[in-house]
Amino acid sequence: MNAITIAPVSSAAQWRSLVADFGSPLMVIDCARMLQQYQQLCEALPGVKHYFAIKALPHLSVLQTLAQAGAGFDLASSGEINLLRQVAVSPRQTLYTHPIKRDSDIRSALRFGCTTFVVDSPQEMEKFLPYRQRVALLLRLSFPNPSSSINLSRKFGCSPKQVPLLLKLSQRMGVTVKGLSFHAGSQCTNPDNHVCAILTCAGLMHDSARYLNGRGLGVLNIGGGFPVSYIDEVPSIHAFCSKIRTALTALPDHVQVISEPGRYLAAPAATSVSSVMGIALRQGCCWYYLDDGLYGSFSGQLYDYRRYPLTVFSDQRERESAVLSGPTCDSIDVIAEDIQLPRLAMGDLVIGHQMGAYTIASATDFNLFPRARDVVLNPPGETGINFSL
């Protein structure tokens, strides 16, 4: 169920003025908010270097903001590399984390200058034989993700038991493995997922020198998964990371810890604005057809299993049963039903909060309804729209 707030009409003024200037639907991206999330994560995990998972919100202003703040970038395709080429960032600040790659993907990453890659099988390791002088690999492990909304250990990752074999294989091939990597599942609400994975990796890292001619593994990538509040509250990032900080003390002293956050940085940084474009009364229920929906900015309701907090504006007290629907001809395209709303009118706005992660990233052009136009607030180092919502 989406949580719906009914706010007074007077509080819609700033959204109305954006719609008057830029049209509807909109995705309003606040770079200052993104920066705040980045700084909070840095404070919650001191000494950890963060590589933004571009897939969550592949938007130029976002990448520029994070690059200026000193973040690195997690790449997972040649398309993401092409986007990052437009940003002033050293390729040394990037990792290629997709465990499955075509030779063309490896070559495109190398041309860009990225030299750290993630693998999880002998077959993937073999792909680096021709490039073994130029690359260093991280082995991705799979761990159970019981407290995460999205399991990222089903499709990828070797078991901890396979690590010694893969390390020995890398020695035989002459390919450098420099560390381990895992993802504890996205929107993970209990840090025990991370803690169990870190402790298992710590054990493997302490043992690793045995398989690598005395040279131990020096990098641990603890992935993403840091949660944000949508409908249900989650622990603050500081509280969430406190057990992780303790677990990290089990690692050998020389190990450099890195992470790949997507959702935590991106979700709170964008807000969607859509407008009522049609109204119909069907079986005693008021259907409101919006100009954005599940094939557009709300695609995360399908692919990311999210429900977003919504706001509508009204000064009326009466409520009636209502449905908020997307614009396309498909009946799956419904954002919220069985809800109670005040009577809305044509052109009224619906605001979606926490909508920066895995939303416009997976939007489609179905029915050729235009995707939400992006409006950037507080862009890095430029004159632009400089106010916060």
Ligand X SMILES: Cc1ncc(COP(=O)(O)O)c(C=O)c1O
Of 226 and 289, the one with the shorter C-beta distance to ligand X is 226
Of 223 and 327, the one with the shorter C-beta distance to ligand X is 223
Query: Minimal distance in Å, beta carbon 209 to ligand X?
Result: 27
Query: Minimal distance in Å, beta carbon 260 to ligand X?
Result: 4
Cα 304 to Cα 212: distance, rounded to the nearest angstrom: 39
Query: Minimal distance in Å, beta carbon 156 to ligand X?
Result: 7
Q: How far from the centroid of its chain's Cα atoms is residue 332's Cα? A: 24
Query: Minimal distance in Å, beta carbon 65 to ligand X?
Result: 17
CB 74 within 8 A of CB 260: yes
Query: Minimal distance in Å, beta carbon 169 to ligand X?
Result: 22
Of 51 and 295, the one with the shorter C-beta distance to ligand X is 51
Of 224 and 268, the one with the shorter C-beta distance to ligand X is 224
Distances (CA, A) of 155 to 105, 143, 272: 19, 11, 31
Give the long-range contacts of residues 203-207, CB within 8 A, separation 24 or more: 204/160, 204/163, 204/180, 205/180, 205/251, 205/252, 205/255, 206/252, 207/164
Cα 53 to Cα 64: distance, rounded to the nearest angstrom: 14
Query: Minimal distance in Å, beta carbon 225 to ligand X?
Result: 5
Of 54 and 286, the one with the shorter C-beta distance to ligand X is 54
Cα 350 to Cα 178: distance, rounded to the nearest angstrom: 48
Of 56 and 350, the one with the shorter C-beta distance to ligand X is 56
Query: Minimal distance in Å, beta carbon 384 to ligand X?
Result: 26
* Structural tokens at position 91: 């390729």
* Structural tokens at position 303: 């692919």
**In 3D, which of 141, 220, 222 has the Cα closest to residue 188?**
222
Using the structure block, give the residue that is written with the tokens 């998972």.
Answer: 53
Query: Minimal distance in Å, beta carbon 300 to ligand X?
Result: 11
Residues that bind ligand X (CB under 6 A): 53, 56, 74, 97, 152, 183, 186, 223-226, 260-264, 357
Of 127 and 183, the one with the shorter C-beta distance to ligand X is 183
Of 241 and 350, the one with the shorter C-beta distance to ligand X is 241
Cα 370 to Cα 296: distance, rounded to the nearest angstrom: 8
CB 318 within 8 A of CB 290: no
Of 152 and 310, the one with the shorter C-beta distance to ligand X is 152
Contacts of 249 (CB under 8 A, 6+ apart): none
Peptide bond into 191 cis (omega under 30): no
Query: Minimal distance in Å, beta carbon 380 to ligand X?
Result: 21
Nearest residue to ligand X, by Cβ distance, number only:
224
Q: How many CB atoms lie within 10 A of CB 41?
A: 20
CB 141 within 8 A of CB 163: yes
